[in-house]
């Protein structure tokens, strides 16, 4: 079985061709065109701009990928149907519907979050059930229990900002570029993680939910104080070392909060495997902390390669192949992008 996958939910136009060989997934072709340089100029993603760029790049990328124009050797098409930016999603969805209709191939609608979860299956070693996943991206922070393929339960999620959103907003407060996650993790390397005392939100509560907006407010307060103190020397500016120190302190607060909740969830669920997925899992400090927590708890640990942590089409292909194996296809004439699609709903 060979699937063509399309991902356009946010600011990456991505395509992949993935096939199955026994229980393995073979990544035959993958291509990704990032819009980050464009969105960096505006300090964030402007949905209409993202959609226009997806429209301009999708078909040329498909040709670059070398997919025959008649879809020969492609058995099915998978597309991200949500959640995400609706105008961006629609570009991928409408393209996939058209290809499926013209090529007469089955169409599979994939939930972007199910795609992130599936990224843990890309490598040779596969997680075994029950699986406890920490999904941390620009829009989501969730602890998810998968009991079997397609049988999932969200144990906890963020009440306000997602982890990636917090990284992006704090980076802005510190005058760093977009996206903030990579910038902060780079600056944190030179900083002291105990330089600032920042809160660890909701750790006292007996649940698996998160809240990162209070942490961002605490950073804003500290940044205000720093600016005032430094203003005595140089009006309203930071010292470079302040930025490094705040980056390290903030990152440490996020990692510690995520790991504490994750540890409670492991104790309760006793999973066979644990997976770390989503854009924020490209963060080195988080990857190390997650791997060492897994080791301490004796749970098998799966963290995809960095390029499969952030948005990509290979994960959508793998999730699509899993759905296809269960016969879960959709009608190319009626599929609609759903910006608020939830895990566990139609596009699992």
Sheet holding 76-82, edge to edge: 24-34, 12-21, 2-7, 76-82, 107-111
CA distance 145 to 307: 24
For residues 70-109, which are near ligand KG4 according to CB under 6 A?
none
Residue from 81, 152, 280, 315 touching ligand KG4 (CB under 6 A): that is: 280
Q: How far apart are the first and last CA of the chain?
A: 20
> How many CA atoms lie within 13 Å of 240's alpha carbon, on the beta-carbon side?
4
**Region from 28-36, 220-228, 264-272, 307-315 binding Zn ion, contact rule CB under 5 A:** 307-315
8: contact with Zn ion by CB under 5 A:
no
183: contact with Zn ion by CB under 5 A:
no
Task: Give me the residues paired with residue 4 across strands.
Answer: 17, 77
CA distance 88 to 118: 22
Hey, what are 327's tokens?
């016969």
137: contact with Zn ion by CB under 5 A:
yes
The sign of the CA dihedral 64, 69, 71, 72 is negative
Closer of 245 and 311 to Zn ion (Cβ) = 311
Min separation Cβ 74 and ligand KG4, Å: 25
- Cα-to-chain-centroid distance, residue 188: 21
121: which DSSP letter?
Answer: G
304: contact with ligand KG4 by CB under 6 A:
no
CA distance 34 to 13: 6
Min separation Cβ 139 and ligand KG4, Å: 5
Q: Pick from Zn ion, ligand KG4, none: which does 280 bind, CB < 5 to 8 A by kind?
A: ligand KG4
Site map for ligand KG4, 176-215, x if CB under 6 A? Answer: ---xxxx--x------------------------------
Contact 287, 301 (CB under 8 A): no
Q: Pick from Zn ion, ligand KG4, none: which does 304 bind, CB < 5 to 8 A by kind?
A: none
Write out the residues near Zn ion by the rule CB under 5 A: 137, 311
Q: Could you list the residues that contact ligand KG4 (CB under 6 A)?
A: 10, 137-139, 164, 167-168, 179-182, 185, 278-280, 282-283, 310-311
């Amino acid at each position: 079985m060979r699937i063509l996958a399309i991902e356009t939910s946010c600011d990456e136009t991505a395509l992949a061709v993935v096939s199955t060989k026994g229980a393995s997934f073979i990544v035959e072709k993958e291509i990704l065109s990032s819009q980050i340089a464009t969105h960096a100029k505006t300090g964030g993603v402007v949905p209409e701009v993202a959609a226009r760029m997806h429209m301009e790049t999708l078909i040329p990328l498909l040709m670059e990928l070398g997919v025959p124009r008649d879809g020969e050797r492609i058995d099915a098409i998978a597309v991200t149907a949500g959640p995400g930016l609706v105008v961006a999603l629609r570009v991928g969805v409408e393209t996939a519907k058209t290809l499926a209709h013209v090529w007469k191939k089955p169409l599979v609608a994939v939930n972007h979050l199910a795609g992130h979860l599936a990224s843990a299956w890309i490598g040779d070693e596969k997680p075994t059930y029950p699986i406890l996943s920490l999904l941390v991206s620009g829009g989501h922070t969730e602890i998810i229990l998968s009991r079997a393929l397609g049988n999932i339960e969200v144990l906890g999620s963020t009440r306000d900002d997602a982890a990636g959103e917090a990284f992006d907003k704090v980076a802005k407060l510190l005058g760093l570029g977009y996206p903030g996650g990579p910038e902060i993790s780079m600056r944190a390397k030179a900083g002291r993680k105990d330089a600032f005392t920042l809160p660890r939100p909701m750790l006292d509560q007996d649940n698996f939910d998160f809240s990162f907006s209070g942490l961002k407010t605490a950073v804003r307060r500290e940044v205000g104080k720093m600016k005032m103190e430094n203003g005595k020397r140089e009006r309203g500016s930071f010292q470079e070392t302040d930025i490094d120190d705040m980056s390290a302190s903030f990152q440490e607060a996020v990692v510690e909060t995520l790991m504490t909740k994750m540890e409670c969830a492991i104790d309760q669920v006793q999973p066979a495997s644990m997976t770390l997925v989503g854009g924020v899992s490209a963060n080195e400090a988080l990857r190390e902390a997650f791997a060492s927590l897994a080791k301490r708890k004796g749970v098998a640990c799966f963290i995809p390669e960095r390029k499969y942590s952030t948005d990509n089409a290979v994960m959508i292909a793998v999730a699509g192949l899993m759905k296809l194996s269960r016969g879960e296809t959709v009608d190319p004439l009626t599929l609609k992008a759903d910006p608020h699609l939830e895990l566990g709903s139609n596009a699992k």
